[in-house]
Each structure stands twice: as C-alpha cells, then as structure tokens.
C-alpha cells in the first residue's frame, strides 16, 4: 500500500472515473471523487471508504468558481494531490453537424474543454508543489485524432485535450509533473446513453456483437501511467478494442 498518495477524479459517478476510483483504492490511494450526481458519489464512498480515505464533492466542472471552491476547501488530509484525472466529459448529438443543436456543441465545449482547463488551472499549484511523480491524466479520445461522421465538435474538443496535454508538458518541464493524454476507442460505459440522450436500445446496439473496451480496461491504463517511476512520462496512449479499426476514405460520386 502506497501511503499518502492522493488522486483527484472528475466524473467519478460513472464509467472510467468510477472504475479508476476502484482501481486506485485497490492500491491504497486516498480518493477525491467529484461529479454532479452526489448520490452516486456517496454510494462509492460507502463502497470504498472502509478501505481508504474518501472525500466526495458534488461538482460541475463547467463552473470555474465551484471548481476553485472545491479545491480550496479540500480537507487537510486531502490537500497534497498527486494525480489529477481529468475524466469528466461527454459527447452529444451523433447526427451530422448540419442537423444538431448549437446548444449541444456549447455543452461539449463547456465540459470537455472549459471544464478540463478549469480543474487543471485550480490544481496546477498543488501538483507542482507535489513535484516528482505527480501526474495529470487527461481523457482524450481516438476522436481527437481520427475524423468520423457525427464527431464534429466532440472530436474537436478531444483534439484540444491532446494539444493542451502536449503544451502543458512544455511549460511543466522541470517541475516533475507528468501529463498524459489517454485516447480510448470504443468503450462500453454510459457514454452512448448520454450521447443519444437516453436511448438505451441505441446504446446496446452499438456495443452488441463485438468486444468493446470496458471501464476497467481504461482504469488500468490510467493507473499504469500514473504509477510509473517518476522519470517516465507517457505522452499519449491510444487504446482501441482489437475488434475496432478504421474504414477507407469516403468518396462522393456522381
Ligand atoms: N466510452 C467511450 O467510448 C469513450 C471513448 C473515448 C473517450 N471517452 C471519454 O472518457 C471520459 C469518461 O467517459 P465515460 O465513457 O466513462 O462516460 P460516462 O460513463 O458517461 O461518464 C462520464 C462522467 O463525466 C461526468 N460529467 C459529465 N459532465 C460533467 C460536468 N459538467 N461536470 C462534472 N462531471 C461531468 C459524469 O458525471 P455526472 O453526470 O454525475 O456529472 C460521469 O461521471 C469522457 O471524457 C469521454 O469523452 C469515452
């Protein structure tokens, strides 16, 4: 058990974030769990709190003032954060760009870009004070690198995550703080349920008859990059199911 290690997770109420909470708890880390759904955070605290210290805070990452407050009011035992997992995020509107609501684009930008920088900015001083071995693990996506129909703003927000991760590395050089962009492919979580605004059938159809990644698969990768020796930085980790690949270029013909 690694005493004194503290991880701050955004979007711990579901999917990768919740699986990461369980993975880090299994290794003895103290947990700061955030997300908008407090009941789910409390359920996770009930599940894991007997094994490791757990602090929960309801937080919408889009709200910069709330982010500053949650970070500023961390209890003494949770202040020296070693790992930030910027996981909170979502895709909306899988239709073609010309068919979607502008509000859905704004929600993705506000969450995946603005939210991620809100949390990063608030925790940078702490992570720099932690120094060698500290990590920021950002959840990007294959959509940040590879175009596909219906990805429009979602993919663009994840391209931001990749470039922001690389750029942070330049500025943090010498601080000991590592930065990683983890870019998963298809993974079965509540992601598609959110993307389709609650269409359970569409979600099940996407994942049926194949072998998607699981939340636990990605949690294992997050734990791996954050627990490597302090002199190793994984810059970007793109992970796909073996049963997922790319199609050829599309061509419009007469
Ligand atoms: N599943 C995939 O195929 C896949 C692939 C590549 C990348 N990703 C990325 O991986 C990350 C996690 O996704 P997931 O698959 O685990 O999806 P998920 O099961 O839907 O979980 C998303 C998490 O983000 C949180 N969240 C959303 N909006 C938020 C906000 N405004 N403030 C705070 N938390 C917010 C949700 O918590 P609350 O609703 O309780 O706030 C939830 O805990 C996302 O960034 C996603 O883009 C997913």
pLDDT digits (tens, 9 = 90+) for 146-183: 999 999 999 999 999 999 999 999 999 999 999 999 99
Ligand 1 centre and the CA of 104: distance in Å? 15
pLDDT over 70 at 36, yes or no: yes
Closest by CA to 57, choosing from 48, 47, 68, is 68
In this structure, the residue with its CA closest to atom 25 of ligand 1 is 11
The answer to whether the CB of 213 falls within 8 A of the CB of 239 is yes
Domain, as residue range, for 143: 6-238
pTM for this model (two decimals): 0.98
35 domain-assigned: yes
43 domain-assigned: yes
User: CB of 155 closer than 6 A to ligand 1?
Assistant: no
The whole-number pLDDT of residue 11 equals: 98
1 domain-assigned: no
The whole-number pLDDT of residue 2 equals: 41
The H helix count followed by the E strand count for the chain is 9, 9
* 63: exposed, middle or buried (Cβ count in 10 Å: 0-12, 13-18, 19+): middle
249 domain-assigned: no
247 domain-assigned: no
Closest by CA to 239, choosing from 166, 184, 175, is 184
How many domains does the structure of the chain reveal?
Answer: 1
Is 154 among the catalytic positions? yes
97-115: average pLDDT: 98
Coil, helix or strand for 246? coil
User: CB of 61 closer than 6 A to ligand 1?
Assistant: yes
The whole-number pLDDT of residue 3 equals: 44
The whole-number pLDDT of residue 59 equals: 98
In this structure, the residue with its CA closest to atom 39 of ligand 1 is 36
Closest by CA to 162, choosing from 95, 229, 113, 97, is 113
The whole-number pLDDT of residue 1 equals: 36
How confident is residue 68, by pLDDT bands cut at 50, 70 and 90?
very high
55-62: average pLDDT: 98
The answer to whether the CB of 19 falls within 8 A of the CB of 213 is no
Strands 187-188, 213-214: pairing is parallel
How confident is residue 8, by pLDDT bands cut at 50, 70 and 90?
very high
The whole-number pLDDT of residue 39 equals: 98
pLDDT digits (tens, 9 = 90+) for 207-244: 999 999 999 999 999 999 999 999 999 999 999 999 99
Q: How far apart are CA 234 and CA 55, in angstroms?
A: 28
243 domain-assigned: no
253 domain-assigned: no
Ligand 1, pocket-test mutation among 117, 165, 191, most atoms within 8 A of CB: 191
CATH of the domain at 20: 3.40.50.720
Across the chain, mean pLDDT equals 97
Distances, alpha carbon 236 to alpha carbons 73, 74, 117, 162, 222, in Å: 32, 30, 18, 8, 11
Q: How far apart are CA 59 and CA 80, in angstroms?
A: 19
Strands 6-9, 30-35: pairing is parallel
User: CB of 6 closer than 6 A to ligand 1?
Assistant: no
Q: Which residues have CB under 8 Å from 72's CB, separation 6+?
A: 122
251 domain-assigned: no
In this structure, the residue with its CA closest to atom 8 of ligand 1 is 141
The whole-number pLDDT of residue 5 equals: 97
pLDDT digits (tens, 9 = 90+) for 181-191: 999 999 999 99
User: CB of 212 closer than 6 A to ligand 1?
Assistant: no
The whole-number pLDDT of residue 162 equals: 98
């Amino acid at each position: 058990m690694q005493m004194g290690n503290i991880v701050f997770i955004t979007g711990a109420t579901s999917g990768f974030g919740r699986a990461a909470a369980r993975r880090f708890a299994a290794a003895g880390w103290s947990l700061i769990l955030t997300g908008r759904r407090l009941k789910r955070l409390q359920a996770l605290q009930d599940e894991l709190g007997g094994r490791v210290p757990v602090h929960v805070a309801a937080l919408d990452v889009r709200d910069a003032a709330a982010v500053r407050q949650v970070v500023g009011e961390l209890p003494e035992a949770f202040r020296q954060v070693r790992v930030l997992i910027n996981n909170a995020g979502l895709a909306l509107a899988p239709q073609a760009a010309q068919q979607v609501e502008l509000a859905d684009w704004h929600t993705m930008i506000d969450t995946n870009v603005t939210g991620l920088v809100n949390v990063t900015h608030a925790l940078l001083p702490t992570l720099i004070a932690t120094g060698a071995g500290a990590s920021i693990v950002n959840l990007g996506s294959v959509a940040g690198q590879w175009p596909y129909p219906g990805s429009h703003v979602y993919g663009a927000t994840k391209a931001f995550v990749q470039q922001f991760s690389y750029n942070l590395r330049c500025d943090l050089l010498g601080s000991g703080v590592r930065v990683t962009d983890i870019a998963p492919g298809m993974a079965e979580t509540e992601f598609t349920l959110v993307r389709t605004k609650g269409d359970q059938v569409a979600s099940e159809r996407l994942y049926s008859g194949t072998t998607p990644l699981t939340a636990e698969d990605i949690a294992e990768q997050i734990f791996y990059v954050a627990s490597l020796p302090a002199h190793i930085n994984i810059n970007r980790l793109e992970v796909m199911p073996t049963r997922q690949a790319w199609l050829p270029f599309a061509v419009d013909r007469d």
